[in-house]
Structure 1
Amino acid sequence: MQRVPSVLLARSFHTTSAASSFQYADLIVEPSTKKQRLPSDPTKLGFGRYFSNHIIDIDWDMKEGWFAPKIKQFENFSLHPAAKVLHYAQEVFEGLKAYHGVDGKIRIFRPELNMERMRRSARRSALPDFDTREALLLIDELVRMDADLVPKTDQASLYIRPMMFATEPHIGIGESLQAKWACFSAITGSYFNYERGIKLLADPEMVRSWKGGVGQYKMGCNYAPTIAVGKMAALHECGQVMWLSGEDRLVTEAGAMNLFVLWTNEENDLELITPPTDSGLLLPGVTRLSVLELAKEWNVMKVSERNFTMPTLARAIREKRVHEFFVSGTAAIVGPVSEILYMDKEHDILEKLHIPTLTSKYQFHKRMHTALTDIHYGKVEKSEWQRIVEV
């Protein structure tokens, strides 16, 4: 029998509050009568196509504040055609995962970091703030209600998608007087084929973010312009785009992921390097931070957050000083990069740069992937990174 908060089922109406956050204590639960059907083979799940049975739905109004949160049957939203989100892309979202552990417990990986990042994105988008703890309690409840859909395999997980968007029906650029906070989940399998390696297209004419922009926030407006560039990359047989910035061709991100290079630097030190987040050009990823923290714990190489350029990286690859290149993210976890197609018309460059990630003697990306997934699935206890949902 599903556990729901006491006295909540008796409530059948919204209550309003001018409080600065929605409250878990006000939660109204309306259990779904529909059940999701899933493929029996986890390898057939794909990513983001099978959705669970429930959704969190919370409205906000400038005058009334946050309304009581609801968990109800997963269903379509009803939006006014003039809702600001549809015209001005006033929207933020997050992505995190819940895992069914080897001990039968369900763990969410570092969700407090996602909620703090979502709040920063909301502030930058002129959307209302909320309390991290209250949001996490609601997400716990959502996962609890759909616990039977958390895959009981280490080949899949429950992807959780919190989101907030402007709903005021008003054609006019300005702060929205109404908004909605929602969260649903999707049963997902692997994001990449990790045995082949990823090929990246690096073309400085295609820009994802810039200084003073919003590249460090998780907003839908950051992603729409990248889709056509992704299609162009596919025409060159590349799976993702490596984003470069400025005349120096600073290396920033790959696709929607952070990136890491394991190389022998010019001082002949073995170094793991990743671009810093203080530039505002890239998203401060939760997996990125976890990779950095684990690498520093292991203390087997120099670990650096500093800028480097595409010409510097290309030279190091030609000199065979680059041992591994990998991307990191919630969906991908850690994914190996095997090749970069470097196209720079201004400097008349067209070059395929092969990276020996898959055959590297260090196999650091594999060690990191294993370490993270062991924590995800409870094979290794790291309690400060594991939020256990009691079912």
Structure 2
Amino acid sequence: MLTIEWSATEGWQAPLIKPFGNMSLHPACSSLHYGVQLFEGLKAYRGDDNRLRLFRPMLNMNRMSKSARRACLPTFDHSELLECIRRLVEIDQDWVPHSDSAGLYIRPTFISTEPSLGVKKPGHALLYVILCQAGSYFNNEAEALSLWADPKYTRAWEGGTGDCKMGGNYGCSLLAQYEAVDYGCQQVLWLYGEDHQITEAGTMNIFLHWINEIGEEELATPPLDGIILPGVTRQSILELTRKWNLHIPCQDKNTQLTSRIAKELTDIQYGRIHSDWTFLV
């Protein structure tokens, strides 16, 4: 794991890569009491050429920095953190699966370690990165996912922190998620406002594909900023479909569109297609 400590008096300390293990925190640590913390998530993929690639990691660094500003945690150098992550993955490269359906999950985490009670801007913080192997999130045998929507629950709202990757956004979603399971659904379709605007769908990106009133194909997704988390993959899908101009065969369009998007993204991630979106380890 990678750890980097920060204090208001001494600034950032030198990064340290060490074996995975437990951490010791002060019982009054404000990340535990007041939720002053955030995280990111990205993957390292082993390509057909055996080279390791990260997918658009600088977008993750940018999003993490935005979350840090919202949580009053200190700023950091995006390029230096990415280089630290690259080195960590390089050291632990044997853990990256030899598979085109799995990868090495990378979890950068940023927490306040302020050792005193009181709601205030932290004077101490810890940025650390851990790794684990990860496969498909959902059961591959399922033909489609069922979504449960109930306006009594709201995940994010204007002026809140829904556009930041903070743990509290996920903890508050558990009750609705388990209620969705009780109703036989796999994920929650989150709604917002009196007119029940669609915002997000649980752990997934959501897009709407239709033929408009003048017969043109359109692909829409909730805004990439504002009350919902701007997604690295969501942005990538929009860029791909703009490149394609949505010229899709007529048979079973929705299935072919999603399959085409998934194939092109995975081909980029595993190095079958050259792209500036990948970062070599």
Quick check: 1:129 aligned with 2:75?
Answer: yes
Amino acid of the structure 2 residue aligned with 1:181? L
Amino acid of the structure 2 residue aligned with 1:62? A
- Aligned-partner Cα distance in 2 for 1:193–1:264: 30
In the other structure, the counterpart of 1:69 is 15
> What displacement does 1:248 show?
1.2
Quick check: 1:370 aligned with 2:246?
Answer: no
- Aligned-partner Cα distance in 2 for 1:204–1:118: 29
In the other structure, the counterpart of 2:280 is 388
- Aligned-partner Cα distance in 1 for 2:100–2:215: 38
Quick check: 1:238 aligned with 2:203?
Answer: no
- Aligned-partner Cα distance in 2 for 1:167–1:85: 7
**Moved segments of 4+, more than 6 Å:** none
- Runs of 5+ in structure 2 lacking a partner? none
CA distances 1:338-361 after superposition (whole Å, capped 9, x unpaired)? xxxxxxxxxxxxxxxxxxx9x546
Q: Which of the pair has more CA radius of gyration? A: 1
Equivalent position SS for 2:119: coil
In the other structure, the counterpart of 1:345 is none
In the other structure, the counterpart of 1:29 is none
Aligned pair partner of 2:174 in 227, 245, 259: 227
Is the Cα–Cα contact under 8 Å of residues 60 and 179 in structure 1 kept in the other structure?
Answer: yes
Q: CA RMSD in A?
A: 1.5
Aligned pair partner of 2:108 in 158, 162, 165: 162
Is the Cα–Cα contact under 8 Å of residues 224 and 235 in structure 2 kept in the other structure?
Answer: no
1:1-391 → structure 2 map (5 Å cutoff): 55-194=1-140, 195-278=142-225, 280-300=226-246, 360=253, 363-382=256-275, 384-389=276-281
> What displacement does 1:196 show?
2.1
> What displacement does 1:169 show?
1.2
Is the Cα–Cα contact under 8 Å of residues 157 and 187 in structure 1 kept in the other structure?
Answer: yes
Amino acid of the structure 1 residue aligned with 2:91? M
Is the Cα–Cα contact under 8 Å of residues 252 and 258 in structure 1 kept in the other structure?
Answer: no
- Aligned-partner Cα distance in 1 for 2:214–2:149: 26
- Aligned-partner Cα distance in 2 for 1:360–1:296: 16
Query: Aligned pair count?
Result: 278
> What displacement does 1:132 show?
0.6
- Aligned-partner Cα distance in 1 for 2:188–2:130: 28
- Aligned-partner Cα distance in 2 for 1:206–1:242: 10
Highest relative contact order (Cα 8 Å, sep 6+), 1 or 2?
2
> What displacement does 1:281 show?
1.4
- Aligned-partner Cα distance in 1 for 2:255–2:173: 33
- Aligned-partner Cα distance in 2 for 1:166–1:154: 37
Percent of aligned pairs with the same residue?
48
TM (normalized to structure 2)?
Answer: 0.96
Is the Cα–Cα contact under 8 Å of residues 272 and 301 in structure 1 kept in the other structure?
Answer: no
Structure (1 or 2) with the greater strand fraction:
1
- Aligned-partner Cα distance in 1 for 2:51–2:60: 21
- Runs of 5+ in structure 1 lacking a partner? 1-54, 303-356
Equivalent position SS for 2:214: coil
- Aligned-partner Cα distance in 2 for 1:90–1:130: 16
